[in-house]
Chain A
Amino acid sequence: MAQAHVRVSPVDRKEKSGSVDHHDIEQFLFMEAKLLDQKRFNEWADLFCEDGTYWIPTEEEQVDPYSHASIIFDDKQSMMARIRRLGHPMIHAQSPPSRTTHIVTNIMTDLRMDKKEEFLVDACFTMFEYRDDEQLMYGGRYTYNLKILGGLLLIDKKIVKLVNSDAAHNIMAVYI
């Protein structure tokens, strides 16, 4: 168990002293999902480290986003561009806007990392997206590298492995 004086949630700014445990990480993931569902995208981006990345690969065994096509590969800079666009009045892909519900489950936490302040988390998700009279459903696995930086639990890497990553997708404008 990592020993730290940690704010588990940068949103709630709830302080926790001592170790980060499985329950804290669960709550962190639920809160992340809730921020997306509530379209609090700037606050959601704040959950990422400065050099954090968000990646949706196209292939199950894909090793990196530079040698093979990806659906999304955002660093903080492109994440902020995407979020600015989500607030633009002329984003046609969000007219009408999406409503989403993320369900995060089967959370497995590896707390026994060599570095005491990094955690590997594996989870399953479904996301319902409703837009323009149609409901879509995405599902798959999330893998997270989480880090404690400056007393905050943050996302270093989030990878979204869709079960149908190589399918022909309807357009996606919001984060999964």
Chain B
Amino acid sequence: MYTVNQLKSLVQKDRVHRRIYTDEDIFNLEMEKIFGKSWIFVGHESQVPDENDFITTSLGRQPVILVRGAGGKLSLLFNRCSHRGVKLCMKKNGSARSFVCPYHGWAFKNDGKLMGTPYREGFDDKFFEVEDLDLKSPPNIDSYRGFIFASLSEKIQPLDEYLGGIKSSIDDLCDRSPEGEISATAGCNRYIIRSNWKQQVDNGVDLYHAPFAHASTLDQDGRQFNRHGGGPSFYKPGTRKFIDFDPMGVWGFDNGHGFQGAVPQVDKPAGGAYQELYDSLRRKHGKERATKILEYDRFNTVVYPNLTFQAFGQHIRVIHPISVSKTEIRIYPVLLKGAPESWNREAVRSVAATHSPASMIQTDDVAVFERAQLGLQAESVEWVYFSRHMGAEKAEERGGYKGPGSSEFLLRRQYNDVWLKHMCE
């Protein structure tokens, strides 16, 4: 086990020790402290639209059921019978008023209340009085614009406050829908990264890697992909020279959240479904606001520690740590409610090209994360550096900080201000 002083020695202003990616004890502590003391994204309201709908997922490593009970109330239940610990529900999703244990038939209402124990007479009556045998729940669950988070910590600040400045990214995504709502009901792409979960978080707002990690996907215009005739390009117009990332900016907020500025687009999206979407937003909000909503003024967003998403690539990505060197990623295509069907259909298809396990972009990131895990086995070399643009970030009037686009300040803040703080608590 690590003492506070040992933990502190692993994180310095501009660097972290390799052991935070490779040591099992650190990983176990992270599950308790980082995943125990943050708000963790557990699902989207659209995945449980009606009473009795549920999905099963995990909170950190812990199996949970997200269920919509009577009156639409959301609960998150540990997926574990209170009797002998058997996992109650094996389905990925469905509708259920109750969950019954396959072992001895103990039955629980979908709000967690114990409602049946067969052959009850064999137990002392006092046992049921003294023990709390309802299904347990994390103490906090709340949602923001359909994004559901739960926390294992009783004392955590309210979700709204915890998200703080990064709510603007969730708003940016949801506002694109003419109904102001998204849905995550178009299935899921799952892939395994044979690396520590933080590789994916570290990459969340990294613009600096694109010319190298993604060289094989850039077309002759420097574009990785194209949507509705528009697409960000990594080349300066008319050249094969890489753009300067710094003017794009990167933003960071309390609790480790942040987003990247937009990569300049070669062409603006136009025509067909884009025009239709623009028109319905214009009818609702007026011309100026509709134009503003559809602008891509940011690229990736990270909600620390387990959620990233993109309005341009129209997906939500959820990070599920499995072990110190294994992580599962789930990618959900995002549908904009009320958008033209063809817009959403194109978005779903586009996610297969950019973020599936066989996608042309994500696979190179994963290959690099896995190579980091391999390289970090070199015990004789201790440090991993996050020293780009040290001290260049400036406080923003609206809260948070802004740094040059290739700045690594968000990582410095995540490790020093959030990771180390929680780990030492």
Contacts and interface: CB of A to CB of B under 8 A. Distances in A.
B191 A169 contact: yes
Contacts of B357: 71, 168-172
A171 B186 contact: no
B188 to A, nearest CB: 6
A141 interface: no
Given A69-B333, A72-B356, A170 B213 contact: no
B358 A88 contact: no
Contacts of B192: 168-170
A173 B189 CA distance: 15
Interface string A53-81: 00010110010011111111100001001
A90 to B, nearest CB: 4
A11 interface: no
A59 B187 CA distance: 8
B367 interface: yes
A82 interface: yes
Contact of A66 (B345, B358, B371): B345
A170 B356 CA distance: 10
B100 interface: no
Contact of A69 (B186, B213, B368): B186
Given A81-B219, A92-B213, A92-B364, A168 B356 contact: no
Interface string B336-368: 000000000110110111001110101110111
A66 B331 CA distance: 15
Interface string A157-176: 00000000011111111000
A93 interface: yes
Contacts of B371: 92
A78 B92 CA distance: 31
B187 A72 contact: no
A10 to B, nearest CB: 25
A169 B367 CA distance: 13
A82 B349 contact: no
B41 to A, nearest CB: 17
Contacts of A171: 191, 357-358, 362-363, 366-367
Interface in A122-176: 166-173
Interface residues of B, number: 39
B216 interface: yes
Contact of B360 (A56, A59, A81, A167): A81
A78 B360 CA distance: 10
Nearest to B347: A66
Interface string B361-383: 01110111001000000000000
A70 B356 contact: yes
A91 interface: yes
Given A70-B349, A78-B353, A90-B215, A172 B187 contact: no
Contacts of A168: 190-192, 328-330, 357
B149 to A, nearest CB: 22
Centre residue among B188, B212, B332, B368 by max chain A CB count within 10 A: B188
B216 A68 contact: no
Nearest to A174: B358
Counting from the closest, the 4 A-B pairs by CB-CB distance are: A69-B187, A66-B345, A88-B216, A168-B190
Given A92-B213, A173-B358, 4 more contacts: A68-B186, A166-B188, A169-B358, A171-B367
10 contacts: A58-B187, A58-B188, A58-B189, A70-B189, A168-B190, A171-B191, A171-B358, A171-B362, A171-B363, A171-B366
